């Protein structure tokens, strides 16, 4: 027996969980500062697991700290349909980014309980570890590890800027689980998320059918030079790694402006150096940057331009450069059948609906390499995100959550 | 009775003190990492004071931690002739920068003891606190405070990048002294220092007669923008303070190259930002930069160019900018009579001697506002400094130390 077409999630109940989450890791006014594997992350994980158990879900944690909460299916041997996202935030983050997807999955399970509906396939809700990358690089490390893009040992060894590893911090907060962090079959993965861009809000759309993501490339770059005195040391002999880094940042920003007309983005978001002090030239610098474009070919050209800029910046400062890490995400990776199902469900429910590309990174990109995957977007005010002023109302999120409910249940019952 | 013209410092004895100092706060191979008011700075201060007391000097410490070791004069009511420099280093510093001037002053006193020579005026040796600015900004804070350029309260409140203040750290290492950190009369101040540039070494000169310093301006600049997502947030709406900082750094470096032909320098040595993490635009950045030129007018033009670059960089990144602090040093601030005395003494001792401008900041600039002041330079290999490969041999330092001896004693006996 299918789910009644009139079934709806309980937005009031959902909002209560959002508000409780918003009390954990409070940041600047209205926002959260809940960095991965910090004390606040531990607290929200504890609360989330308690909610899951209250909802009758069984909880398992894998070796990279991903939390899976399972609602059994009529045939529990079938692969699950999985919903989820992340509970961690940037250091100046909002209360909805990622969180709405995890707690939305929980709300779907609660709704099914209330309706007494048992799906054919099991349903799971997942909280992926360190999606943001706001503390540990790379971002999306939990989903990357789970789907085999990263090895567990490598992931556990990633360090924050204070030198602590993911493994140490998982142990400290008690979230290094026993389940293997390796791929197991998913029937499908559907991630509900706020858009983090201004399009749906501007156009008064209620649901975004995510057809793919901006083709994106991130890079971690290291420059090496030599320390010297900032005074007498001749300009011609300077090897200031900080300047190599600054030249790269400016080149990346210029590249972003060059492609702004077609919606392209190029961002330099991080530059650290050593000693990075008055009076002395730095002999080491590290920069993180990325490029994103709707058109994969243009994106590839932009990434190539960044690679060239790395070497030009190094040459100008007489430093050496090494691209330590490159990560790609986005593209047309989502499953057509699921995209179509989301679109049909949203239109069937009468919501103002449009296709949209994601411009942000999401765990869904990694999961898409592993199982049929798609995303559902909800509007957020002005597209403001990674900022304490990120804002959604219940009206912004309710339509997408109902689309999530019906999409997932239809999939789980097919 | 004057000092015999044949009097010489004991380079072997001096070298022993240099080698002992080189064991305290060991950094990279051959270098020191003895940041102001850290544990190693405490240790070298303790050792220096013990040496001073062994040499019969009385030691006083002022409220900013400057150490004054005094050798009485025949008329002890006269203002002292003062030698000195600093014992702190950059995080990747050498064993001679500053240190040779403090321990050289001690060696002069030891030589006078050995000769049984009592000067008419008292002689003092000073170790100034935080000359380098490698931990606390601004540099030369001890001499600046002593000479009234900074108030004591302001200086004590300066913080390192971990938030600890100079006052807290002085208390922690036990070097907040009882003597007032206020100007008292000096008959003269003579600072012996390594050149920290390649000129003397390249030309085979033994002594540099420092006729002044490059006219220099340092600035501490702050940019404010807004955090946002590095993906969907439109280029047109970005207010990335890190990019404002990077654009300033590049402009400053370009300015340095523009003036390299006439020996000008422009340096950006520090850029910090917040959050400065992948995935998020930074809403705050702070940069430290400086310009230096032998010609004061050109230097002023360069400083004005930096001011303009600050506002251009901010405008390009849609950030606000504030120049938090500006400090000037250098220029023709040394006393002609002392410069002439150093020149005559060096030539009289038969050393290969040339006039030279300092391109670095020194405590002597502050002291020059307060008392007749000059400096004596010794060569260092290749001009390498603020680097663990900084190198001097006894032969490099001995001539300048003998010039220091005879200059100071002549002055103290006049």
The Cβ-side half-sphere exposure at A306, using a 13 Å CA radius, reads 29
Pick the CATH number of B214-328 from 1.10.1740.10, 3.30.70.360, 3.90.1150.10, 3.30.565.10: 3.30.70.360
Alpha carbon A371 to its chain centroid, in Å, reads 17
At B43-56, the pLDDT tens digits run 999 999 999 999 99
Prior bond to A240 cis, omega within 30? no
Domain coordinates in residue numbering, chain B:
11-196+360-413, 214-328
Name the residue with tokens 């989330």: A48
Q: What is the mean pLDDT of residues B68-93?
A: 97
Calculate Rg over the CA atoms of chain A: 22
- What average pLDDT does chain B have? 96
Q: Is B86 annotated as a binding residue?
A: yes
Identify the band that residue B17 occupies on the pLDDT scale cut at 50, 70 and 90.
very high
User: How many helices and strands in chain A, by DSSP H and E?
Assistant: 12, 11
The count of CB pairs under 8 A between chains A and B is: 249
**Residues of B whose CB is below 8 A from A254:** none
The answer to whether B41 touches B35, Cβ cutoff 8 Å, is yes
At A98-152, the pLDDT tens digits run 999 999 999 999 999 999 999 999 999 999 999 999 999 889 999 999 999 999 9
CATH number of B11-196+360-413: 3.40.630.10
Identify the band that residue B211 occupies on the pLDDT scale cut at 50, 70 and 90.
very high
Instruction: Please count the other Cβ atoms lying within 10 Å of the Cβ belonging to residue B36.
Output: 28
Q: Give me the pLDDT at residue B3, please.
A: 92
Q: Is A193 annotated as a binding residue?
A: yes
Q: Is B97 annotated as a binding residue?
A: yes
The Cβ-side half-sphere exposure at B327, using a 13 Å CA radius, reads 19
Q: Look at residue B240 and tell me whether its pLDDT is greater than 80.
A: yes
CB under 8 Å to A315, separation ≥6 — which residues? none
Q: Look at residue B256 and tell me whether its pLDDT is greater than 90.
A: yes
Instruction: Please count the other Cβ atoms lying within 10 Å of the Cβ belonging to residue A295.
Output: 15
Give me the helices (H) in A317-354, please: 336-348
Q: Which one, of A38, A24, A26, lies nearest residue A172 by Cα?
A: A38
Q: Is A97 annotated as a binding residue?
A: yes
**Residues of A whose CB is below 8 A from B280:** 90-92, 134, 269, 386
- CB nearest to B387's CB, from A132, A133, A228: A228
- Average pLDDT for runs of 10 along chain A of length 414: 92 98 96 97 98 98 98 97 98 97 98 97 98 92 95 95 95 96 93 96 98 95 96 95 98 98 96 95 97 97 98 98 93 96 98 97 95 98 95 98 98 96
ipTM over 0.85: yes
Q: Which one, of B339, B405, B364, B354, lies nearest residue B201 by Cα?
A: B354
Q: Give me the pLDDT at residue A298, please.
A: 98
Q: Which two tokens stand for residue B124?
A: 């003092």
Q: Give me the pLDDT at residue B161, please.
A: 83
Prior bond to A179 cis, omega within 30? no
- CB nearest to A279's CB, from B90, B264, B281: B90
At B120-169, the pLDDT tens digits run 999 999 999 999 999 998 899 999 999 999 999 999 999 998 899 999 99
**Residues of A whose CB is below 8 A from B288:** 277-278
Q: Any bridge partners for residue A270, and if so which? A: A288
- CB nearest to B250's CB, from A250, A267, A268: A250
The class of domain A214-329 in CATH terms is alpha beta
Q: Give me the pLDDT at residue B1, please.
A: 64
């Amino acid at each position: 027996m299918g789910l009644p077409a009139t079934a709806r999630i309980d937005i009031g109940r959902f909002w209560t969980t959002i508000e409780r989450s918003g009390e954990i890791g409070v940041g600047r006014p209205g926002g959260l500062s809940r960095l991965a594997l910090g004390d606040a992350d531990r607290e929200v994980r504890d609360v989330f697991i308690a909610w899951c158990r209250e909802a009758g879900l069984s909880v398992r944690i894998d070796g990279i700290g991903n939390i899976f909460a399972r609602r059994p299916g009529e045939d529990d041997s079938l692969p699950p349909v999985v919903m989820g996202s992340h509970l961690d935030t940037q250091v100046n983050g909002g209360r909805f980014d990622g969180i709405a997807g995890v707690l939305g999955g929980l709300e779907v399970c609660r709704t099914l309980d209330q309706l007494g509906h048992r799906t054919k396939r099991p349903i799971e809700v997942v909280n992926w570890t360190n999606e943001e990358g706001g503390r540990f690089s790379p971002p999306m490390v939990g989903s990357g590890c789970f789907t085999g893009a990263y090895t567990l040992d490598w992931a556990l060894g990633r360090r924050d800027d204070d030198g602590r590893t993911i493994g140490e911090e998982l142990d400290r907060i008690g979230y290094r689980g026993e389940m293997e962090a390796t791929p197991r079959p998913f029937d499908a993965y559907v991630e509900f998320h706020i858009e983090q861009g201004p399009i749906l809000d501007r156009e008064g759309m209620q649901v975004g059918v995510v057809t793919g993501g901006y083709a994106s490339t991130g890079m971690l770059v290291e420059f090496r030079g030599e320390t010297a005195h900032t005074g007498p040391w001749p300009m011609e002999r300077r090897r200031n790694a900080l300047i190599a880094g600054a030249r790269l940042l400016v080149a990346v920003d210029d590249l972003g402006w060059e492609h702004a007309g077609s919606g392209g983005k190029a961002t330099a978001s991080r530059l650290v150096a050593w000693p990075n002090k008055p009076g002395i030239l730095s002999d080491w610098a590290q920069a993180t940057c990325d490029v994103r474009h709707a058109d994969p070919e243009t994106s590839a050209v932009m990434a190539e331009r960044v690679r060239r800029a790395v070497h030009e910046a190094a040459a100008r400062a007489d430093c050496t450069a090494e691209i330590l890490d490159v990560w790609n995400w986005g593209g047309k990776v989502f499953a057509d059948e699921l995209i179509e199902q989301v679109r049909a469900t949203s239109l069937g429910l009468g919501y103002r609906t449009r296709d949209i590309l994601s411009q942000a990174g999401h765990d869904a990109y990694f999961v898409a390499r592993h199982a049929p995957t798609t995303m559902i977007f909800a509007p957020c005010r002005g597209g403001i995100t990674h900022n304490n002023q990120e804002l959604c109302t219940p009206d912004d999120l309710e339509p997408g959550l109902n689309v999530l409910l019906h999409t997932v249940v239809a999939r789980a019952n097919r």
